[in-house]
Amino acid sequence: MISFKNLHLINPIVRAVTEAGYSKPTEIQYSVIPHILAGKDIIGCAQTGTGKTAAFAMPIIQLLKKHTPDHNQIRTLILTPTRELAVQIEENFATYSKYLPLSQLSIFGGVSAGSQLAALRKRVDVLVATPGRLLDLAGQRHIDLSKIEILVLDEADRMLDMGFINDVKDILKMLPQKRQTLFFSATMLVSIRKFAETMLHNHVEVTVNPVSLTEISVQKNISETYVHRNGRTARTENEGAAISLYDAEECSNLKTFKN
């Protein structure tokens, strides 16, 4: 059986994830962690609930564990589409780095920026951000992205579907050309893959646990959303069912989704 130690993760990380209740790596974790530790760019596709956050968080923590006085800028940037995901990722990083001197912060819109600005004045190793708030604060020169070593686009399919593509492109202009880029998504459509490949060099592509539909669901002509929502119904090894309502105008889509 593959263990976290088999993946060459250091003891402080293994201890933290074990205490958090993780018994063994999931497929996406053991498939990508060695490549991330080796400095490779990644396109990772796995349905929601299969451990994608831990798959990139644990190796990033290990790569960042060595820091010097020069490392007083943000070293890792994680872009995610919603505040809920941003907070969740920040909490996960705090859990996995429990025994290491790393700091993390999430910033997002919809709340006052005051507390976020105060936190940014301290050393932040890992910044988790929604694109809009990041651009606002970077435009006001509150955030320096010039020292980013690792970029993660999490839930990339949702990010592009929600109209963040231009924001992401603007953010990319602020980052160093030399960096490691990790691209994670629950679905991997041709538009998404082409966008990812414009940012990556000599990357590794990993697809595991393709979305399995246990019930038919139609969501207003948006197949990407349909697939993503169904992916959320079955978490890891558990079964689930998704039920959606549709009207007569959308009946023609039902056959398309079945196929």
pLDDT 10s digits, 95-138? 999 999 999 999 999 888 899 999 999 889 999 999 999 999 99
Strands of the 104-107 sheet, one edge to the other: 104-107, 126-129, 76-79, 150-153, 180-185, 42-45, 204-207
At 66 the pLDDT is 72
Could you tell me the pTM of the whole model?
0.79
Residue 227: the pLDDT is 52
Rounded mean pLDDT, 55-74: 83
pLDDT, one tens digit per residue, over 36-59 is 999 999 999 988 888 999 999 999
| Res 219: pLDDT | 43
CATH code linked to domain 5-210 = 3.40.50.300
Q: Let me know: does 208 contact 27? Beta carbons within 8 Å.
A: yes
pLDDT in tens, 234-249: 555 556 666 666 666 6
Mean pLDDT over 220-239 rounds to 53
**Does the structure show a pLDDT above 90 at 61?**
yes
Rounded mean pLDDT, 153-182: 92
Q: What's the whole-number average pLDDT of the chain? A: 84
- Domain regions of the chain by residue span: 5-210, 212-259
> Higher confidence at residue 28 or residue 242?
28
- Over residues 20-49, mean pLDDT: 93
pLDDT of residue 10: 96
What pLDDT was estimated at residue 220? Answer: 46
pLDDT recorded at residue 250: 63
